[in-house]
Amino acid sequence: MNWLAIDLGAESGRAMLGSLVKGKLALEELHRFPNTPVRLPTGLYWDTLRLFHEIRHSLTICGRQRKLPLEGIGVDTWGVDFALLGADGALVDNPRHYRDPRNHGMLDRLTAVVTRQEIFRQTGIQFLDLNSLCQWYAMKQAGAPALSCATTLLFMPDLFAYWLTGVARAERTIASTSQFYNPVSKTWSRPLLDALGLRAAILPEIVEPGTVLGPLLDEVRESAGFALPVTVFATAGHDTASAVAAVPADGADWCYISSGTWSLLGAEIAGPVLGPEAMESNFTNEVGAGGRIRFLKNIAGLWLLQECRRAWLLEGREYSYDELAALAAAAPPSRARIDPNAFTSPGAMPSQIARYCRNTGQDCPSDPAGLCRLILDSLAASYAEHIDRLESLLGRPIRSVHIVGGGSRNRLLNQLTADFSRRTVIAGPTEATAAGNILVQAIGAGHVSGLAEARAIVSRSFPLESFSPR
């Protein structure tokens, strides 16, 4: 059985073919493409139509080039960003990037109307300017014309699924990132939206991960070269939810780090944690596969390294990520420390880090090797701090840390995380998001019984590496 995962990250997208045979999952990358935001005089946008073009090209590779029959297709993306559709089903504005400067300072304006305590009580979501709630409120404050003619709000994976099927729904895991979803009532937080003057009527029906949305539209199917109908699933649409579904763990004494552009550090629990300690620690309650809650902390992860690499490239120095990892491994431990979440704006990251060090009375490395080591040491120290805090908030021990996603290839960061946290680290699978996307589809189709079986399949299918604290 073949399944297709469309996995869109903040830096790149790819189409991953998954073959589920005799209880093991094999993955193959069919197509990879950049996801490059576009800066216009009016703001920072996603190149949404280009992304959909790449999705359709991925389908053509399956149907016309490889002639592969597909059991299903699922799309996952980063969280919080959304599109607005008009009555005719067309975009009324191009979706903005969560780092769009229009969002800066919006959290303070929003919480002047509804208190932080009330927002957290209703949503359980951490406070960030990039949250969907802040973005929507920023549009209202700016008098954005798109709001007046919008009839439907769709999060990014839901938008692409809509373009594939014509069915507009909100998948629950991606909806839960918005800060206007209530994890207790499991509905939209309409009282919060009413208080802010935001029209809840444009929000679609919420569906579970694994829900069948429908077949590919005839035009899409025929263009891609599929002779038979192909089912599109609302998989775990938030990429972190898909990644966590593929964490090869059992029991309750573990936490995860979904390591990539962002580092999402948390635990899987039965219900939301909405107390004042969780709010003050800025932890968040997002929905996962199987009805679980992903209680986690957002940490600005390897984006810092990506931005440094981009800055050095502009200066004529090109490094691969493997080269940067090797430089960091050869450098001595850094004496300085940075707060990864203090860096929210793209551009000139080495200069931003140097300025932070000066302002905090620290010596900043001036060479790429030292800067890379500073970033990795600081990330590991931040992980350790938040694992201890997570353990305290949950009132239960955490003995192991599962690192999944592209960042799990960074063996130095894995070892440093074990060292700083004093816990065993299990790294892998690298392709957790694609694996989780496909396995949630398979659960929805009835070929996999549930989350426990999906994780057992992952354990059998992919190599894992263990790191002990030194």
Going by pLDDT thresholds of 50, 70 and 90, the confidence category of residue 261 is confident
Domain that holds residue 353: 249-427
pLDDT (tens digit, 9 = 90+) per residue, 368-395?
Answer: 999 999 999 999 999 999 999 999 999 9
The answer to whether residue 234 sits within a structural domain is yes
CA separation for the pair 182, 200 (Å, rounded): 13
> What is the per-residue pLDDT for 112?
96
Q: Classify residue 106 by burial, with Cβ atoms within 10 Å: 0-12, 13-18, 19+.
A: buried
Q: Which of 279-283, 321-325, 382-386 has the lowest mean pLDDT?
A: 321-325
Going by pLDDT thresholds of 50, 70 and 90, the confidence category of residue 402 is very high
> What is the per-residue pLDDT for 260?
87
Going by pLDDT thresholds of 50, 70 and 90, the confidence category of residue 412 is very high
Residue 208 backbone dihedrals phi, psi, to 5 degrees: -80, 155
The answer to whether residue 454 sits within a structural domain is no
Domain co-membership, 181 together with 323: no
Domain co-membership, 177 together with 326: no
Domain co-membership, 312 together with 405: yes
- The gap from C-alpha 138 to its chain's centroid, in whole angstroms, comes to 22
Domain co-membership, 35 together with 97: yes
CA-nearest of 213, 199, 203, 209 to 160 is 213
pLDDT at position 76 over 90: yes
CA-nearest of 355, 431, 415 to 383 is 415
pLDDT at position 323 over 90: yes
pLDDT at position 265 over 90: yes
CA separation for the pair 46, 44 (Å, rounded): 7
Domain co-membership, 193 together with 280: no
**Structurally, how many domains does the chain consist of?**
2
Domain co-membership, 234 together with 337: no
Beta bridge partners of 465: 427
Instruction: Kindly name the residue from 81, 239, 377, 419 that is annotated as catalytic.
Output: 239
Q: In this structure, are residues 248 and 458 in contact, taking their beta carbons and an 8 Å threshold?
A: yes
Going by pLDDT thresholds of 50, 70 and 90, the confidence category of residue 344 is confident
The two structure tokens encoding residue 451 = 């989350």
Tell me the mean pLDDT in the region 2-6.
Answer: 97
The answer to whether residue 452 sits within a structural domain is no
Domain co-membership, 135 together with 282: no
The answer to whether residue 396 sits within a structural domain is yes
Residue whose structure tokens are 């029959």: 69
Domain co-membership, 195 together with 306: no
Q: What share of the chain is helix, strand, coil (3-state, %, to 5)?
A: 45, 25, 35
pLDDT at position 250 over 90: no
What whole-number percentage of the chain has pLDDT above 90?
Answer: 94
pLDDT at position 354 over 90: yes
The CA angle 368-374-375, to the nearest 5 degrees, is 90
Residue whose structure tokens are 């009835």: 446
Residues in the chain: 470
The answer to whether residue 346 sits within a structural domain is yes
pLDDT at position 251 over 90: no
pLDDT at position 97 over 90: yes
Q: In this structure, are residues 63 and 4 in contact, taking their beta carbons and an 8 Å threshold?
A: no
Q: Has this prediction a pTM greater than 0.75?
A: yes
Tell me the mean pLDDT in the region 330-340.
Answer: 95
> What is the per-residue pLDDT for 203?
98
Q: In this structure, are residues 20 and 90 in contact, taking their beta carbons and an 8 Å threshold?
A: no
Domain co-membership, 226 together with 257: no
CA-nearest of 222, 225, 220, 223 to 63 is 225
Beta bridge partners of 431: none
Tell me the mean pLDDT in the region 3-20.
Answer: 95
Q: In this structure, are residues 439 and 388 in contact, taking their beta carbons and an 8 Å threshold?
A: no
The answer to whether residue 453 sits within a structural domain is no
Supply the mean pLDDT for the chain.
96
Bond from prior residue into 34 cis (ω within 30 degrees of 0): no
Is 441 in a helix, a strand, or coil?
A: helix
DSSP code of residue 320 = -
> What is the per-residue pLDDT for 145?
95
Domain co-membership, 35 together with 8: yes
Going by pLDDT thresholds of 50, 70 and 90, the confidence category of residue 347 is confident
Stronger pLDDT, 220 or 345, i.e. the higher one: 220
Residue 212 backbone dihedrals phi, psi, to 5 degrees: -75, 120
Domain co-membership, 16 together with 82: yes
DSSP code of residue 129 = T
Tell me the mean pLDDT in the region 237-244.
Answer: 96
Angle, helix 411-421 to helix 368-394, in steps of 10 degrees: 50
Going by pLDDT thresholds of 50, 70 and 90, the confidence category of residue 194 is very high
pLDDT at position 173 over 90: yes
pLDDT (tens digit, 9 = 90+) per residue, 199-212?
Answer: 999 999 999 999 99
Going by pLDDT thresholds of 50, 70 and 90, the confidence category of residue 252 is confident
pLDDT (tens digit, 9 = 90+) per residue, 40-58?
Answer: 999 999 999 999 999 999 9
- Is 108 assigned a catalytic role? no
Going by pLDDT thresholds of 50, 70 and 90, the confidence category of residue 345 is confident
What whole-number percentage of the chain has pLDDT above 70?
Answer: 100
The answer to whether residue 441 sits within a structural domain is no
